[in-house]
Amino acid sequence: NYFIDGCHSKECTVDAATRDNYLGIARWFRAWFYYNKLTQYGEVPWFGSEIQSYQYDIMYKERDSRDVIIRNMIEDLDFAYEHIQATSSVNSSTLTKWAAAALKSRVCLFEAAYRRYHKLTGLEITPEELYRHAANAAKLVMDNSGLSLNTATGTKGAYRDLFYLEAPITSEVILAVCANSASGIYGTQNYWYNSLSYGKGWSLVRPFVNTYLKLDGTPFTSETGYETKNFVEEMKSRDLRLAQTIRGLDFKRDGKAVVADMTVCLTGYHVIKYSLDDTKYDNNEKNNNSIPLLRYAEVLLNYAEAQAELGGLTDAEWNTTIGALRRRAGITGGTEKLPTTVDSYLQQVFYPNITNPVLLEIRRERAIELVAEGTRFNDLRRWKCGELIEELPWTGMHISALNVDIDLNGDGTPDCYFTDNGTQSSNKDCKTVNVKNETGLYATANAAGGYDLRYNPGTGNRIWYDDDRQYLYPVPAQVIRDYESAGYKLSQNPNWN
pLDDT at 460 over 80: no
The whole-chain average pLDDT of the chain stands at 96
Q: What is the pLDDT of residue 452?
A: 96
CA nearest to 170, candidates 295, 283, 321 = 295
Mean pLDDT on 297-310: 98
Rounded average pLDDT over 91-119: 98
pLDDT band of 437, cuts 50, 70, 90: confident
Spell out the residues 6+ positions from residue 440 whose beta carbon is closer than 8 angstroms to its own: 455, 456
Exposure b/e, 428-451, CB count within 10 A at least 16 = b:
eebbbbbbeeeeebbbeeeeeebb
pLDDT tier at 183, thresholds 50, 70, 90: confident
The answer, yes or no, to whether residue 490 has pLDDT greater than 90, is yes
So what's the pLDDT on residue 152? 97
Q: Report pLDDT digits (tens) over 86-102.
A: 999 989 999 999 999 99
Q: How confident is the model at residue 112 (pLDDT cuts 50, 70, 90)?
A: very high
First to last CA, the chain: 32
pLDDT digits (tens, 9 = 90+) for 24-76: 999 999 999 999 999 999 999 999 999 999 999 999 999 999 999 999 999 99
Q: How many CB atoms lie within 10 A of CB 191?
A: 20
Closest to 93 in 3D by CA, of 295, 373, 300, 292: 292
Measure the CA–CA gap between 194 and 285, rounded to whole angstroms: 12
| Helix (H/G/I), strand (E/B), else coil: 365 | helix
**Is 22 in contact with 7 (CB distance < 8 Å)?**
yes
Which DSSP string do the residues of 234-270 spell out, in sequence order? HHTTB-TTGGGTB--TT-EETTEE----TTT-SSS-B
pLDDT of residue 25: 98
pLDDT at position 439 over 80: no
**Highest mean pLDDT: which of 192-196, 338-342, 388-392?**
338-342
Question: How far apart are alpha carbons 41 and 281 in whole angstroms?
Answer: 37
Q: How far apart (Å, rounded) are the C-alpha atoms in residues 343 and 333?
A: 15
What pLDDT shows up at residue 139? 98
Q: For the whole model, what pTM was predicted?
A: 0.97
β-pair partners for 187? 287
pLDDT digits (tens, 9 = 90+) for 367-403: 999 999 999 999 999 999 999 999 999 999 999 999 9
* pLDDT at residue 194 tops 90: yes
